[in-house]
Structure 1
């Protein structure tokens, strides 16, 4: 009997990050957690694995990953951390590093990050420094991690001065983006990840953004539209990373919305009041409104961006943050610590239109502060 179309297996999609002898695959599709053991063993036969996951993700996916590794003949240990941005700290980082050393993870072994962006960033940084660098695999379980943080080798933890200020470039050897894992995400988490999907259209792919405007409900519902969005996002990021691994040029475009967004995250204490993707959504809307204020794009363009983000349920303004944020002076202090600041000069990703983002250097701090005061004013 023929299988129904809905029951047909979904082919795994593959995107390669081209970095010469450090190139690696991003595999996208359902069932990749169950297939992880075979995929890892094919690349690192006999390696011992140390899995790092947060407690919430562990309850959902860890047993299946461990069973897959065991079936492939790969021994594995586990280490769990608390969920949330607070785990990207020196204290938790030290615990992860010591756990990997205690597990006798050697240079021929693997560290496996199972979870969202927090676990991926934290685990990748630990892998970068243990024994001066061991290989690691990303198994991202959130939309945000699948389309953004798991790809490209940026790893790190937060400082009291700002987000991701301590870290290293350390590329994974494999990314396994199990699309079925997204079915376990709370709606708020999925929406937050969608902000990073929309970002790729806003940077340099106006056609993709238009497609999202028309089909975002299908992306949220799952199926081919979701896989297409993940694959398109990963291809866009992989191409940029392949050309500019260490963000000396165009890779900075991937930070669209992040300068404003990171400042807002710091202002909310890296708490659940504002998820990373929500901060990016506000930041992208601000980047386009600031661009319009500077005469770089039409106000209607900024309104179009804001309208789409709002339509999917994302916040787009400071006033949408529960509990408010610190005064503008606090936001400016955080912006001054941004990683893109060069010799004290502010750098922003601004836009001349949808799909027309560019790196703007030497942005006048007074203009940014005046803009933020307008943004922070009561509606």
Structure 2
């Protein structure tokens, strides 16, 4: 595949994800007929990444309103959403106008939620600029904001018009952010496509090098995993829950850390916990648990956590959206690429798994 080629990954019959170099300019091809205005949401420090999108939309004759928001998880609050709603109201946005999210997963989560809730739903286009946004947050139609009680507890399902993954934007990404984003790709390897793990294990340094064919293949493979799952289960009624592998503890750690820890770092720890839980439940062997530690460590991601007691995290885990009543439910493995559910594990089993990841 040439560096200039664009990969098109379809999410069922709903929309396409385009992966390539310079594809952010194709945003004009996704603008719905009749749209007159666009709100471009972007992180305050990264206005330059939104500039090509703004220029393309203005060149197509749209009135563009920019919505700079705080960086990372600080953007995902009702207060920030309310400010964007106010901008849309003042600009007289109608149902044929659109929102464009340019940035990482936090921005696409927020932009999608704002679009889903304005007039009960206006079109949204995502232009993720991070690995995390490309392989996970921008694909699938999940939107949301955080509350004092936990992460993503308020949100809606809102399918985008399309997703543009411009690989050129990864050149500006701090190395730690790129590595953290790859945790979500590794998750895809453990639950569905082991080739992702093999690509990382063969050359971890190349897997984190912007512009490398290896990184591109990892990104595209993980997008395909997510596209196949969400196309079959948009509303997370059954199959889609497997995408939450590592997230139950991961989200609890993020909440405990007041969102100062990168999402991918928390998910990396959460995956090792889930693997330990799987092992202690008699579902996988020690070798597969160790493979979790090895591949994540090769990417210089954390594999243990000792900055909170089990009791401190247990309450947050009980608020997890997979819970049903008082029943905790975890995504575990029955083997490599064999995700399953573990319902109502004993507190003793959970404590043992958590003790195993103590540093």
Structure 1 length-normalised TM = 0.90
Residue 52 of structure 1 and its aligned partner are, at CA, apart by: 0.7
Provide closer, same or farther for how the CA distance between residues 53 and 236 of structure 1 changes in structure 2, counting only shifts above 3 A: same
Match of 1:121 in 2: 109
* Secondary structure of 2:42 counterpart: strand
Aligned pairs for 1:214-233 (under 5 A) are: 214-221=202-209, 222-233=211-222
Match of 1:13 in 2: 7
Deviates more, 1:237-246 or 1:361-370: 361-370
Residue 302 of structure 1 and its aligned partner are, at CA, apart by: 0.5
Residue 9 of structure 1 and its aligned partner are, at CA, apart by: 5.5
Residue 45 of structure 1 and its aligned partner are, at CA, apart by: 5.8
- Would the aligned equivalents of 2:201 and 2:298 in 1 still touch at CA under 8 Å? no
Q: Does 1:242 pair with 2:238?
A: no
Residue 314 of structure 1 and its aligned partner are, at CA, apart by: 0.5
Aligned pairs for 1:1-379 (under 5 A) are: 10-19=4-13, 23-37=14-28, 39-41=29-31, 43-44=32-33, 46-58=35-47, 60-221=48-209, 222-271=211-260, 274-319=261-306, 324=307, 326-376=308-358, 379=359
Runs of 4+ in 1 over 4 A off after TM superposition: none
Deviates more, 1:204-213 or 1:330-339: 204-213
Residue 44 of structure 1 and its aligned partner are, at CA, apart by: 3.6
Deviations 1:218-275 (A, max 9, x none): 332223222222211111111100111111111000001000100100111112xx10
- Would the aligned equivalents of 2:112 and 2:143 in 1 still touch at CA under 8 Å? yes
Residue 46 of structure 1 and its aligned partner are, at CA, apart by: 4.5
- Structure 2: tracts of 5 or more residues without a match: none
In 2: Cα distance, 1:13 partner to 1:201 partner = 20
- Would the aligned equivalents of 1:346 and 1:364 in 2 still touch at CA under 8 Å? no
- Would the aligned equivalents of 1:116 and 1:145 in 2 still touch at CA under 8 Å? yes
- Structure 1: tracts of 5 or more residues without a match: none
Residue 94 of structure 1 and its aligned partner are, at CA, apart by: 1.3
* Secondary structure of 1:35 counterpart: helix
Q: Aligned-residue CA RMSD in angstroms?
A: 1.7
Provide closer, same or farther for how the CA distance between residues 79 and 315 of structure 1 changes in structure 2, counting only shifts above 3 A: same
Structure 2 length-normalised TM = 0.95
In 1: Cα distance, 2:218 partner to 2:202 partner = 13
- Would the aligned equivalents of 1:32 and 1:177 in 2 still touch at CA under 8 Å? yes
* Secondary structure of 2:25 counterpart: coil
Deviates more, 1:143-152 or 1:296-305: 296-305
In 2: Cα distance, 1:115 partner to 1:375 partner = 32
In 1: Cα distance, 2:7 partner to 2:316 partner = 39
In 2: Cα distance, 1:218 partner to 1:50 partner = 36
